[in-house]
Amino acid sequence: MSKSVTKNKAPKSAWWILALLMLASVVSFVDRQVVAIVVEPMKADLGVSDTEIGWLYGVFAVFYALAAWPIALAADRHSRKFIIASGIFFWSVMTIACGLSRQYWQILFARVGVGVGEASLGPATVSMVGDLFPRSQIPLALSVFQTAAVMGSGVAFLIGGVVLGMVEGSQPMILPVVGELAPWQQTFVYVGAPGLLLAFLFLLLREPERRQDPKQVSSWPILRQFYRQNTKAIACHHLGFLAYALLGYAFVFWSVSYFVRVHGLPAAEAAQTFGWIFLLTGPIGPIGAALLARALNERGWHDGNIVVGMLAGCAAVVCIVMIQFMPTAAWAFVLYVPAMICVNAPFGLANGALPVIAPAPIHAQVAAIYLFVVSIGNLLGPPIAGFFNEVLFPGDDGVRYSIVSVTLAFGLLGTLLLQFARRPYAKALQEMDARIAAGAEN
Phi (first) and psi of residue 175, to 5 degrees? -110, 150
Q: How far apart are CA 356 and CA 374, in angstroms?
A: 19
User: How much is the mean pLDDT over the chain?
Assistant: 84
Would you state the pLDDT for residue 86? 93
Number of H helices, E strands in the chain: 18, 2
**287 CB contacts (<8 Å, ≥6 apart)?**
143, 144, 147, 348
For 436, other C-beta atoms within 10 Å of its C-beta total 13
Number of Cβ within a 10 Å radius of residue 103:
9
The phi and psi torsions of 248 (rounded to 5 degrees) equal: -65, -45
In 197-255, at which residue ranges do the beta strands (DSSP E only) sit? Answer: none
Split at pLDDT 50, 70, 90, the class of 6 is: very low
pTM of the predicted model over 0.75? no
Sign of CA dihedral 343, 347, 350, 352: negative
Q: What is the DSSP string of 185-210?
A: HHHHHHHHTHHHHHHHHHTTSPPPPP
pLDDT tens-place string over residues 239-279: 999 999 999 989 988 888 889 898 888 877 888 888 888 88
Q: How far is CA 316 from CA 37, 244, 277, 406, 415, in A?
A: 22, 9, 15, 13, 11
Cβ pair 142, 352 in contact under 8 A: yes
Between these two residues, 412 and 125, which has the higher pLDDT value?
Answer: 412
DSSP string across 147-191: HHHHHHHHHHHHHHHHHHHHHHTSPPEEETTTEEE-HHHHHHHHH
Q: Which amino acid is at 30?
A: V
Mutual angle of helices 231-253 and 398-437, in 10-degree steps: 150
pLDDT at 5: 47
The secondary structure of residue 7, as a DSSP letter, is: S
Distance (Å, whole) CA 125 – CA 108: 27
CATH superfamily of 12-207+219-437: MFS general substrate transporter like domains (1.20.1250.20)
pLDDT-derived band at 2, boundaries 50, 70, 90: very low
CB of 304 within 8 A of CB of 239?
A: no
Q: What distance lies between CA 57 and its chain's CA centroid? A: 12
DSSP states of 270-332: HHHHHHHHHHHHTTHHHHHHHHHHHHHHHTT-TTHHHHHHHHHHHHHHHHHHHHTT-SSHHHH
- Residues 357, 366 contacting (CB under 8 angstroms): no
* DSSP tag of 216: G
What are the boundaries of each domain within the chain? 12-207+219-437
Residue 440: burial class (beta carbons within 10 Å; 0-12, 13-18, 19+):
exposed
Q: Is residue 253 a contact partner of residue 274, using CB atoms and an 8 Å limit? A: no
Note the pLDDT tens digit of each residue in 372-405. Answer: 888 888 778 888 888 898 888 888 888 899 999 9
Query: Residue 217: what residue type?
Result: V
What is the per-residue pLDDT across 103-141, written as a single tens digit (0 to 9) for each? 888 889 999 999 999 988 988 888 888 788 887 777 778
What's at 241, amino acid-wise?
F
pLDDT digits (tens, 9 = 90+) for 166-214: 656 666 677 777 777 887 888 888 888 889 999 999 988 888 877 665 5
Asked if residues 348 and 144 have their Cβ atoms less than 8 Å apart, the reply is yes
What pLDDT score does 4 carry? 42
pLDDT above 70 for 440: no
Encode pLDDT of 324-374 as tens digits.
Answer: 999 998 999 999 999 999 998 898 888 888 888 888 778 778 887 888 888
| Separation between Cα atoms, residue 328 and residue 262, nearest integer Å | 9
Most distant CA pair in the chain: distance in Å?
A: 68
